[in-house]
């Protein structure tokens, strides 16, 4: 059935203006003022902003870690995304097999239950001639981005030589290389010293991963990409010096980009000194208020292109079940590391929090415009990762992924509002202003005033083309 959205204000990365939207066959077929369509269902968006559904370019669903698995799978995590206004997510394909295409097949089988549209980046944590040969063919499978690590020695890390080799192949194939930039050697030394000294509380997670290691690794990673003639995208930037290094390369016209996440804007490593500090353990860790301010500045001035989440939730106490869709669920979580920070699963919930939390503290406080908000949370990631204009904007021919956003709606936020399948929320008790009333996926209503009408498997697996350098 056709749907006609009337009386709303359409927000894109370029403009904000009153307009009606006609939706047919999952796509936007017309956009303008005073549209008419006799047989269409009328959706009255009076008083609402109409935003493109958010695109979260960095999530981890059903990820094995530290003797357990992240508590949101491809259904529960994407459902939570929808409640927060996000309709497209990009997960990661683990390199469990040296055959990259077997890994893609295995991931697709798990992702088939997604409730919103979904794609994935490919982790490259092992590199040889076979991987190199397959790497250049990844775009044929719709995978146009890879991720490499400069940390997690002996597990995920590639040495600089193999990162350089992978980047050269990727660059020639139109594949973007994403980098987790920390200094793995320094981390291993500091962790060993902390454990030997009996320093095992959560704060030592941050103190054994110093910010200068990220500053050094971020510039090194960008330099490797520049020497390989390949674009580089820094994931989860969390320290001021990384912004400085990214600004340095971008000011010279070099193809380097980056993202940050809400947790690095609104929290510091002091959270890890709380009795429940394990809730805030993620890698890389939070830093200082000054770092958060510099990251925010990077979002405002365009040095950083994307606000993602690095969503990877675990229960705080997985020995106690919660009710999820009426059923008790208990998944081992951060209690596994009680008494030893190295055994605490690294990761946080956030996929549903990103848009309303950032809107409240950025747009409602007039620090950025609604159009900048759309750019950072939808349009830029869609462009960078080869989904634009299908995703990330409101335009004729685009998928009808729409969030009817009430900028005046006040919400007492926390775990009861968020839909993550876990037992805590980082923003518990925060007062938010601005929230999605209705969310549509390709024209289908999936969320209305806190009620779910989407479905398991309602999302599509997206094949991506090569993206843009912003």
Residue 80 belongs to some domain of the structure:
yes
Residue 385 belongs to some domain of the structure:
no
pTM of the model as a whole: 0.98
Q: Is the pLDDT of residue 438 over 90?
A: yes
State which residues form the domain around 111: 54-371
Closest CA to 351 of 177, 109, 90: 90
Beta bridge partners of 329: 322
Tens-place pLDDT, residues 119-148: 999 999 999 999 999 999 999 999 999 999
Q: Is the pLDDT of residue 324 over 90?
A: yes
Record the tokens describing residue 173, joined without a space.
């194939």
Tens-place pLDDT, residues 200-221: 999 999 999 999 999 999 999 9
Q: Is the pLDDT of residue 412 over 90?
A: yes
Record the tokens describing residue 104, joined without a space.
């893609």
Residue 317 belongs to some domain of the structure:
yes
What is the C-alpha to C-alpha distance for residues 384 and 379, in angstroms, rounded to an integer?
9
Residue 76 belongs to domain with CATH number: 3.20.20.140
Predicted local distance difference test score (pLDDT) of residue 148: 98
Confidence of residue 297 (pLDDT cuts 50, 70, 90): very high
Residue 2 belongs to some domain of the structure:
no
Distances (CA, A) of 194 to 202, 255, 281, 282, 341: 11, 38, 17, 18, 10
The per-residue DSSP string of 132-192 comes to HHHHTTGGGGT--EEEEES-STTTTPPPHHHHHHHHHHHHHHT-EEEEE---HHHHHHHHH
Q: Is the pLDDT of residue 276 over 90?
A: yes
Q: Which whole number is the average pLDDT over 357-377? A: 97
Record the tokens describing residue 231, joined without a space.
């674009």
Residue 149 belongs to some domain of the structure:
yes
Pairing of strands 68-69, 64-65: antiparallel
Closest CA to 65 of 339, 347, 308: 347
Q: List, in order, residues 6 or more apart from 300 with CB less than 8 Å away.
A: 367, 368, 372
Predicted local distance difference test score (pLDDT) of residue 229: 98
Cβ atoms of residues 293 and 49 within 8 Å = no
What is the C-alpha to C-alpha distance for residues 35 and 28, in angstroms, rounded to an integer?
13
Residue 355 belongs to some domain of the structure:
yes
Record the tokens describing residue 332, joined without a space.
């081992």
Rg (CA), the chain: 21
Q: Which whole number is the average pLDDT over 369-382? A: 98
Residue 179 belongs to some domain of the structure:
yes
* Omega prior to 98 cis, within 30 of 0: no
Q: Which whole number is the average pLDDT over 160-189? A: 98
> How many domains does the structure of the chain reveal?
1
CA atoms 422, 380, 262, 369: torsion sign: negative
If you search the block for the tokens 């930039």, which residue do you land on?
181
Residue 377 belongs to some domain of the structure:
no
Q: Is the pLDDT of residue 16 over 90?
A: yes
Which regions of 333-424 does DSSP assign to beta strands (E)? 402-412
Distance of CA 59 to the CA centre of its chain: 5
Closest CA to 307 of 248, 255, 375: 375
Give the chain's end-to-end CA distance (angstroms, integer): 37
Tens-place pLDDT, residues 40-92: 999 999 999 999 999 999 999 999 999 999 999 999 999 999 999 999 999 99
Q: Is the pLDDT of residue 459 over 90?
A: yes
Instruction: Classify each residue of 199-225 as buried b or exposed e, where b means 16 or more C-beta atoms within 10 Å of its C-beta.
Output: ebbbbbbbbbbbbebbbbbbbbbbbbb
Tell me the average pLDDT of the chain. Answer: 97
Q: Where are the alpha helices (DSSP H) in 174-274?
A: 184-196, 203-207, 211-228, 240-251, 262-266
Pairing of strands 54-56, 86-93: parallel
Predicted local distance difference test score (pLDDT) of residue 1: 82
Which regions of 252-357 does DSSP assign to beta strands (E)? 256-260, 306-307, 322-324, 327-329
């Amino acid at each position: 059935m056709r749907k006609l959205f009337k009386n709303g204000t359409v927000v894109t990365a370029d403009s904000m203006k009153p307009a009606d939207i006609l939706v047919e066959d999952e796509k936007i077929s017309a956009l303008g003022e005073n549209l008419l369509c006799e047989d269409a269902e009328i959706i009255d968006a009076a008083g609402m902003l109409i935003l493109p559904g958010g695109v979260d370019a960095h999530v981890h669903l059903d990820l094995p870690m530290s003797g357990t698995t992240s508590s949101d799978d491809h259904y529960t995590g994407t459902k939570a995304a929808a409640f927060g206004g996000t309709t497209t997510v990009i997960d990661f394909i683990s390199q469990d097999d040296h055959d990259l295409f077997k890994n893609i097949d295995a991931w697709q089988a798990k992702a088939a239950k997604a409730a919103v549209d979904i794609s994935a980046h490919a982790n490259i944590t092992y590199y040889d001639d076979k991987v190199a040969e397959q790497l250049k063919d990844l775009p044929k499978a719709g995978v146009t981005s890879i991720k490499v690590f400069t940390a997690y020695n002996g597990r995920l890390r590639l040495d600089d030589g193999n990162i350089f080799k992978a980047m050269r192949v990727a660059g020639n194939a139109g594949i973007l290389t994403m980098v987790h930039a920390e200094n793995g050697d320094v981390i291993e030394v500091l962790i060993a010293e902390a454990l030997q000294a009996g320093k095992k509380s959560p704060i030592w997670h941050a103190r054994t991963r110093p910010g200068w290691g990220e500053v050094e690794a971020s510039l090194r990673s960008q330099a490797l990409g520049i020497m390989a003639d390949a674009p580089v995208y820094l994931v989860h930037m969390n320290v001021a010096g990384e912004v400085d290094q990214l600004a340095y390369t971008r000011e010279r016209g070099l193809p380097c980009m980056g993202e940050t996440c809400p947790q690095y804007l609104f929290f510091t490593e002091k959270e890890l000194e709380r009795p429940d500090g394990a809730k805030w353990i993620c890698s890389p860790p939070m830093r200082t208020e000054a770092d958060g301010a510099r990251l925010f500045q990077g979002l405002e001035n365009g040095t950083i292109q994307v606000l993602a989440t690095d969503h990877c939730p675990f229960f705080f106490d997985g020995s106690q079940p919660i009710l999820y869709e009426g059923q008790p669920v208990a998944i081992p979580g951060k209690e596994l590391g009680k008494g030893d920070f190295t055994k605490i699963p690294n990761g946080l919930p956030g996929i549903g929090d990103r848009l309303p939390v950032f809107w409240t503290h950025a747009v409602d406080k007039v620090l950025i415009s609604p159009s900048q908000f759309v750019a950072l949370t939808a349009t830029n990631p869609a462009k960078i990762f080869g989904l634009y204009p299908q995703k990330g904007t409101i335009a004729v021919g685009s998928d009808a992924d729409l969030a009817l956003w009430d900028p005046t709606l006040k919400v007492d936020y926390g775990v009861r509002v968020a839909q993550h399948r876990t037992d805590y929320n980082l923003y518990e008790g925060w007062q938010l202003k601005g929230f999605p009333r209705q969310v549509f996926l390709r024209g289908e209503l999936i969320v209305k005033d806190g009620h779910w009408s989407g479905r398991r498997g309602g999302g599509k697996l997206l094949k991506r083309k090569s993206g843009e350098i912003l």
